Amino acid sequence: MNILVTGGYGQLGRELEKLAVCSHEHQWFFTDVDTLDITDPDAVERCFSEHRIGVCINCAAYTAVDKAEDEPEIAARVNTLAPQILAKTCLKHNALLIQISTDYVFDGNGTSPYQVDDPVNPQSVYGSTKAEGERLIRESDCKYMIVRTAWLYSTTGKNFVKTMLMLGDTKDEINVVNDQRGCPTWAHDLAAALVALLNRNGEEPVHETFHFTNEGNITWYDFACAIMELGGKTCKVNPITTDQYPTKAKRPAYSVLDLSKIKEYADMKIPFWRESLVKCILEINS
């Protein structure tokens, strides 16, 4: 199978690239905006034709959640228009589209884990543009899997873990919100789950939505404390409320995703968040 990965320089793209090295049954094509701008339908069509793409894993996105509030058109081009372009191209080439989406499609007013078919109600430009991208893919008739994830981190790029480790080196004390609950996800684990899903392709019907995060759920404050502890930082972490830390984009207060569907479908055991955080910090420090 020829697999196209878009947004290949991002956190998830890089982790897929590491796994692709060991995956000899597929041929992988890694691209990012400099080699394939997914908002350009002609470029996407050329890439699919030239490489006879059978699966496209769309890791490309506009992920600057607060900046998106000021740049809704740019966010919509990447998060809504581009998935539609990819879906149309996949339909034409009978290819499978794996679209990565987000917990921010939910409003965060829930009190129990969100199921894959719970109604979406995004509260931010980022969340709305991703939810629209999902909708257009579902309406396109192409073969698809939409995989929602949350609180992604890795050794590369900008993420909460790296920010906390940096603050741990430069500050004696920091304040972190303790009233937003979610599921940290090591991009490496998500990449492995996508490969596991792919290896089931052909055996099961497509047109499915999944949730994947690490197991367990915590607040950003809990997460920051664990990062400082495991990173060997002495920086004190103080719990604060969302009201004390205003941001441009509204974040869901509760965005825990139910994982039962992906566990059953891909027959996988998902690591707990702390276990994966230990491994990522070890990798950052190595």
Ligand X SMILES: NC(=O)c1ccc[n+]([C@@H]2O[C@H](COP(=O)([O-])OP(=O)(O)OC[C@H]3O[C@@H](n4cnc5c(N)ncnc54)[C@H](OP(=O)(O)O)[C@@H]3O)[C@@H](O)[C@H]2O)c1
**126 a catalytic residue:** yes
Minimum CB separation of residue 32 from ligand X in Å reads: 5
Nearer to ligand X, 63 or 128 (CB): 63
The CA distance from 40 to 38, in Å, is: 5
CB of 60 to ligand X, least distance (A): 3
Contacts of 123 (CB under 8 A, 6+ apart): 104, 107, 108, 249, 250, 251, 252
The strand pairing partners of 249, in sequence order, are none
Measured between alpha carbons, how far is 246 from 141 in angstroms, rounded to an integer? 40
Cβ proximity to ligand X: between 46 and 236 the closer is 46
- 3-state DSSP assignment of residue 201: strand
Catalytic residue among 62, 104, 114, 126: 126
Residues 6+ apart with CB under 8 A from 205: none
CB of 277 to ligand X, least distance (A): 14
Paired tokens of 217: 């759920």
Instruction: Give the HSE-up count for residue 143: Cα atoms under 13 Å, Cβ half-sphere.
Output: 16
Size of the site for ligand X (CB under 6 A): 25
Q: Is 256 in the site for ligand X (CB under 6 A)?
A: no
Structure tokens given for 265: 């479908």
Residue list 4-63, contact with ligand X (CB under 6 A): 6-7, 9-12, 32-33, 37-39, 59-61, 63
Binding mask 127-166 vs ligand X (x if CB under 6 A, - otherwise)?
A: ---x------------------xxxx----x---------
CB of 234 to ligand X, least distance (A): 27
Binding site for ligand X (CB under 6 A): 6-7, 9-12, 32-33, 37-39, 59-61, 63, 78, 82, 100, 102, 130, 149-152, 157
